[in-house]
Amino acid sequence: MAANVSHKLRNGIKPQAFIDGMTKNQDTFLSRKAEFSWPSEEDRAFFASLANRDDLRCLIIAADWCGDVVRNIPVVLEALKETEIPTEIFIMEEHLDLMDEFLTMGGRSIPVVLFADTGGHVLAKWGPRPKHVQDVMIAFKEQNPDRNAPAYEENLKAARAEMLKQYGEGTGYQAVIVKELRELLSSI
């Protein structure tokens, strides 16, 4: 990735400040955070092994009103806690310049999790949701290119219902996020 976010480093808020400042969905966020458990000791050990790296930074674009943020970011934060990678959260509405650098299929989809080096060079991006869930939205957008089509809203509602189904019941999706983050971090 050619993007550079050096102008944003140290301009976000700490994860705890984000949580403390939530005016929507805080209880659900905290509940999902409390439900986190490592899929395996091997996964936990991998993330812990990154604690020795001082060359990485994590920037997360998020907002408390977003269901994907409330579902996914507790998992990301719990996994990253082991890494000790400095992590900042950028409220989307307050950092539209950053958001617009990392659109998903041309749209503002959050969360966006960026990993950068200390110079701000973006090395990897994750989000807005696990790949198998995002595949539903990709298919929807491909099949519904016209936002003004009569069936667009109805089809969007069906796609969102399918995405919830793909997340599944319980916390199984959390292992998928850990796996995807591990693969991403292994590549940088």
The CATH superfamily holding the domain 6-128+171-186 is: Glutaredoxin (3.40.30.10)
Rounded to an integer, the average pLDDT of 8-16 is 97
Q: Which of 8, 7, 137 is nearest to 60 (CA)?
A: 8
DSSP 116-166: EETT-BEEEEE-SS-HHHHHHHHHHHHH---TTSTTHHHHHHHHHHHHHHH
Distance CA 188, CA 181 (A): 11
Burial class for 88, CB neighbours closer than 10 Å (0-12, 13-18, 19+): buried
26 residue type, one letter: Q
Rounded to an integer, the average pLDDT of 168-185 is 94
Quick one: how far is CA 152 from the chain centroid?
A: 26
In this predicted structure, the answer to whether residue 53 has a pLDDT above a threshold of 70 is: yes
Query: Within 10 Å of residue 84's Cβ, how many Cβ atoms?
Result: 15
Confidence of residue 144 (pLDDT cuts 50, 70, 90): very high
Q: Is the bond preceding residue 39 a cis peptide, omega within 30 degrees?
A: no
Distance CA 119, CA 121 (A): 6
**Do residues 60 and 100 make contact, with C-beta atoms less than 8 angstroms apart?**
no
Q: Higher pLDDT residue, 2 or 155? A: 155
> What value does the mean pLDDT of the chain take?
95
DSSP 44-66: HHHHHHGGG--SEEEEEEE-TT-
Confidence of residue 179 (pLDDT cuts 50, 70, 90): very high
